[in-house]
């Protein structure tokens, strides 16, 4: 079943929990496993945290993050497509930024694993960024796809 939602939130850390929970709730119509839901929540949390910490680097509620989600059926699987967009500072070197353990803020106990987690936890992942214009992260996950022998379990709605 095709479905769509668009969420615009202030780029403040208080909204990280709301954003990941909202996307997980939207994904429920695909009847995901608990592992699928956990992966989606973690990936969204990473993307939103990047916007708050790196794109804007401020606590201003005027800065906005846009999250768009589409669910559809593709090749017999439910799929969720998620885009997280900011209008922040942009990324100088996307390849470097997405390398494991790379961080511009090591002094703040940043692990540099955010993009790696998004890549690993989702099935498709891409980043587009323009300096001083913003960044868009696109991620997709097939729901119900049995991977690495994991057995499907029903999520609690």
Partner 1 sequence: MQIKAMTNNNIVYMTLQGEIDEHSAERARREADRLIDEYAAAESAVIDLSGVSFMDSTGIGFLIGRYKRFRRFGIPVYVTNLTQSTDKILEMSGVYTLIPKI
* Residues near partner 1, by CB under 8 A: 13-14, 16-17, 20, 35, 38-39, 41-42, 45-46, 49, 52-53, 108-111, 113-114, 116-117, 120
Nearer to partner 1 by Cβ, of 59 and 131: the residue is 59
Shortest Å distance, C-beta 41 to partner 1: 7
State the Cα–Cα distance between residues 157 and 154, nearest whole angstrom: 9
Nearer to partner 1 by Cβ, of 1 and 147: the residue is 147
Residues taking part in catalysis: 46, 50, 110
Q: CA 18 → CA 44, 58, 97, distances in Å?
A: 10, 19, 26
Shortest Å distance, C-beta 103 to partner 1: 9
Shortest Å distance, C-beta 15 to partner 1: 8
- Are 26 and 63 in contact, with CB atoms under 8 Å apart? no
Spell out the SS3 assignment of 96-135. Answer: HHCCCCCCCCHHHCCCCCHHHHHHHHCCEEEEEEECCCEE
Nearer to partner 1 by Cβ, of 53 and 139: the residue is 53
- Are 81 and 69 in contact, with CB atoms under 8 Å apart? yes
């Amino acid at each position: 079943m095709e479905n769509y939602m668009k969420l615009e939130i202030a780029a403040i850390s208080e909204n990280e929990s709301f954003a990941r929970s909202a996307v997980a709730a939207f994904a429920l119509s695909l009847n995901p496993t608990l592992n699928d839901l956990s992966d989606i929540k973690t990936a969204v949390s990473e993307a939103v945290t990047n916007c708050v910490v790196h794109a804007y680097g401020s606590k201003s509620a005027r800065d906005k993050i846009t999250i768009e989600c589409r669910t559809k059926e593709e090749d017999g699987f439910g799929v969720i497509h998620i885009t997280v967009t900011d209008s922040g500072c942009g990324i100088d070197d996307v390849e470097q930024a997405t390398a494991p353990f790379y961080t511009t803020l090591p002094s703040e106990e940043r692990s540099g694993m955010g993009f790696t987690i998004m890549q690993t936890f989702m099935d498709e992942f891409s980043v587009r960024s323009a300096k001083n214009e913003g960044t868009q992260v696109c991620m997709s996950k097939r729901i119900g796809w049995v991977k690495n022998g994991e057995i499907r379990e029903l999520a609690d709605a």
